[in-house]
Amino acid sequence: MDTVADLMQVVIAFSMIGTLVAATCQLHFLRKQIKQQDRDSKSYIDLLAQQLEHQIQASKQQATLVSKQIEQLKNQNEIQYNWVRKEKALEYSLSKNQQLQQIRKDLDAAFGNIQTIQEPITMKEIGEKLKEDPSKYTVISALLAHWENLALAIELEIVDEKVAYEMTAGIVRKYVYAFQKFINDRRRNKNPRAYKYLLELDEKWAKKLQQGINDK
């Protein structure tokens, strides 16, 4: 009986050992699977990260390219814009307009060479000329309006001031000086804002011309 009992105990022990070994093997297998899954997951995540990094780099390169193209277009537009402003400034030259050339000749004929006048033309002188020829009022107004338009265009940056200054500063100042009394009378009796931009430009250019003389 003791032998049978011992045998049973041995069988049970071996059975338990077998079960333990099987459980251990299964646990080891499960650990290997988990590790493999972890490695697979990590590889997949790494792959996604690499793809995302590539996409980010490609986006950055594309953004840089677009930025350069925008900058090039901006520079081209700025060059074109400045060129147009220079061309617009040239259009205000009296030599570009036959009607204004004739107006200038008419004023020179009526009041003497405007370029060489030493004193502003008085309202009495202007009034006498208007009695002889009332159209002279329109002639004077047209030429001053031309310079007022130039001054406004400069203020709005439609024309290039540097080109306009080099081309017309002297003559603009002469006409504003010569018809100073006419301008003041117009502002006092008809429109306080008349020739506003022209007078501001004249003052600005007077300082600039004086500075140029001083620099010499």
List pLDDT tens digits, range 31-68. Answer: 776 666 666 667 777 777 777 777 778 777 887 777 77
Same domain, 61 and 151: no
pLDDT of residue 27: 66
Same domain, 107 and 77: no
Distances (CA, A) of 123 to 64, 103, 175, 180, 194: 66, 19, 15, 10, 17
Same domain, 1 and 42: yes
Domain count along the chain: 2
Same domain, 10 and 71: yes
pLDDT band at 156 (very low <50, low <70, confident <90, very high): very high
pLDDT of residue 140: 95
d(CA 207, CA 214): 10
pTM of this structure? 0.64
Same domain, 153 and 176: yes
Domain termination site, one of 36, 70, 90: 90
Same domain, 118 and 67: no
Asked if 104 and 161 touch (Cβ cutoff 8 Å), the reply is no
Same domain, 202 and 101: yes
Same domain, 41 and 145: no
**How high is the mean pLDDT of the chain?**
82
Tokens read off for 2: 């003791």
Same domain, 207 and 114: yes
Domain termination site, one of 90, 115, 143: 90
Domain termination site, one of 90, 111, 135: 90
Same domain, 143 and 206: yes
> What average pLDDT does range 80-105 have in this prediction?
78
Same domain, 186 and 208: yes
**The domain containing residue 196 runs over which residues?**
92-215
More confident residue, 10 or 161: 161
Neighbours of 89 (CB within 10 A): 23
pLDDT of residue 174: 94
Same domain, 156 and 124: yes
